[in-house]
Structure 1
Amino acid sequence: MGEVYLASEALTGRLIAVKVMAAHLIGHVRAETRFRREISAMGQLRHSGIPAFAGFGELNGRPYLAMEYVTGHSLDMFLPTGKPLPEDLALWATAQICEIIGFCNRETSMIHRDLKPSNVMCDLKGLPGLCEQSRLCVIDFGLASYIDFGDFEDFSVGPRGRAAGGTMSGEVMGTPAYMSPEQIRGEELSFLSDIYSIGTILYHLVTGHPPYTGSSAGVVMAGHLDGPVPDPSRLAPVRQATVAAVQRAMAKNPQARFRSFVQFASSLQAARFSTIQATKRITRTVESTTSGSGNAHPSTASTADLSQQRPSGTGWTHKALPAQPPPPGSSDAGGWSRPVDPPTGSWRRPVRTPLPASPALEPPSTSTWRRPIRTPPPVPEKEFEPNATDPSTPVQEPVKQHPSSTGWRRPIRTPPPSTGPTCTPDPSPSPAP
């Protein structure tokens, strides 16, 4: 479809990737239309998993598309022959691809039609290898199918229709190892075709091999059409949830696949996190107990056998499972608190009864005890005796007690009589002057 060159912008100095249309396609109307449609789509998509649009134009009569240059390597460079990625890393990478293609499908109803590991770039961000901190980008939208953008005169279709100049009916385009059955048959495609392709990528990542191989492209495509859905657990010790995700994504019937990219990504996340501890425990137990008889897959051993096996060595850190409760009526309780004769035939945890309070700390009953009322001491009738020898000493009168309903009131203080000289008026009239 084209040639890609590494260039540098004159003004900013940043590195960009320039995709130039192949020289032998100049003058090919459908090829030029497809290339211009890719330029239009890349100019409208904004996502961290898609190279940023940097411009377009013509160079010596050949159209070109300038995009962000993604440093790193393609995903297939991390897959040496027969050596898969770690399962958790493979599930993470596949979920990232689902998110990117799902975004493109929501924005433009795009169908990529050429998803494969070599079209996924991995930006390592300065790290020594591929990890969850890396950035994945999907590239090469040359074979993608979009809705009509209405940017060019030759895009004459109805609303929500497919743009002209795409793949003709019966025309097969793509990579045989990752194509869906309906794509091989040349039928009208939907997003379910990309879900199938992502499923083949996941199979390749966890096993190290494509799902179907053969001496020719026809043999490979025949496997996609008529071969059974592959089981990755036959080649690698993967979790059952991963096997289920691969087989559902690669179902021959498109209606039996995941109904959306979000559902596919959620299934991958569930397979990645839900059984990680149980898988590590079972795998380590089987490896330690079958070291002398070869490598046995965890699915070949029964659950009861695995629960009784204990690993050997000093590197084991997994805690032992808690002891199971003894049967009803057993004399060996082993620390379990359970009734001897359950009333319903099934065991239930006994209800915990709080201990009685200490009698010394128990407060008295409100019906038999009340706080005593404090009564003031009685007031004496005479506070002091008057001095009979001293006539000037006033005589203190006794304090009068007044009855009350409560039995006591504050005494009333009576002022003492005056001790100064008194003047008595003369009753006889004074003579007139």
Structure 2
Amino acid sequence: MSDKIKENSKKYNLHSWSAQGKLNPTVVTDAKGIYFWDDKGNKYFDMSSQLVNMNIGHGNKKVIEAIKFQADKLTYIAPGYAIDVKSELAEKIIEIAPDNMGKVFFTLGGTDANENAIKIAKMYTGRNKVFSRYRSYHGSTYGSANLTGEPRRYVSEPGIPGFIKFFDPYIYRESIAFNSEEEATVFYLAKLREQIVYENSTTVAAIFLETVTGSNGVIIPPKGYLKGIRDICDEFGIMMVCDEVMCGYGRTGTWFACDNWDVKPDMITFAKGITCGYVPLGGVLVSKDIAGFFNDNPLMCGLTYSGHPIGCAAGLATLEVYKEEKLIENSKSMGKVLGEELEILKTKHKSVGDVRYIGLFSSIELIKNTVTREALVPYGKDPEGIMGKILGMLKEKGFSTYTHENIIIVAPPLIIKEEEIKEAMAIMDEVLDYVDSLVVED
């Protein structure tokens, strides 16, 4: 039976980001907590929370029962109607968001959350240019693909006019040796401000940024950086939009990642952690000022499944799980354990150039030269399939995650325990012994 499942998957499904002829998809038969099992009975640590979205883990009964209850009560109603779960979920999200937030526009996921945030920023400001960073991923539909900076945007080019890219505060890869994070912040903000002036600041509607850069390296903003972005936006009347699709809902040890730096964006886009993949849901949080603007101006955004009843019911239950199981607190405390394990790996393995972590959101950056810090694979390329081989070795030993460029993502479900972190990272330790053999030391 499992062979038939795999055969039909390859025969009838188009799998994302892949050459179809080379695929050999794992047949999954069960999942519970931080683990899942394949058709051969092999057990895997889900150390990326699938796509950094299974924050509450697999098989949570509370969320499953909420979905069942809502399916019996009301499966669908058009978004123009008022229903209990949609109103309640919006209220609950506003309660945990920064206190300048006023309303929520619900979407199906992260990419359409960013699509609609682009439109809202343009409607609110009357401007047409949008800034975003090179090492970013904001989605794959056409507008969000133009927001995206990394190679997955290339197929959407020639792009939409008005999308401008700037550089991340990627200190590890910077040619300048900064004396402090604050010094780096001054440099990066000055270059961004200069670029905005050159682009004519009166035409810039928004600056989009992943509060913590996600798959492109878990790049954590240096001290003062986000507040500096806030100041630049205030100076020029630009909307600050934080994409928290990946880093929201406890992933970094706070409800929203921007809370770590006490920054209040004009908009926050979210998805993943609001329902943890149990059903699709995303959204855009807008400030009270933006919400007020649309009291007299039409909001030209709409989706058939905006505020879907089953999605909202799942979202309400998921928020209860976060609170009842103290998962925000666990993300922070277990994040310290994970950080200690990562620092040990960095010290032990010459292939580990850098480790970055905040809460249960972390990355391991692999290098091939200890002197030059040359990345293990070139940007946007892996001609010898090195990262794929490393991923395969991890999975063979029961550690499931994903890689991007020369980065291994480590972002387990927020329910993980200390002994589980240590057991999983022991597998990583073993595989990095092999990666060390690829490193040049002079």
Query: With structure 2 as the length reference, what TM-score do the two structures score?
Result: 0.21
Q: Could you say which structure has the greater relative contact order, defined with CA pairs below 8 angstroms and 6 or more residues apart? A: 2
Query: With structure 1 as the length reference, what TM-score do the two structures score?
Result: 0.21
More strand by share: 2
Q: Which has the larger radius of gyration?
A: 1
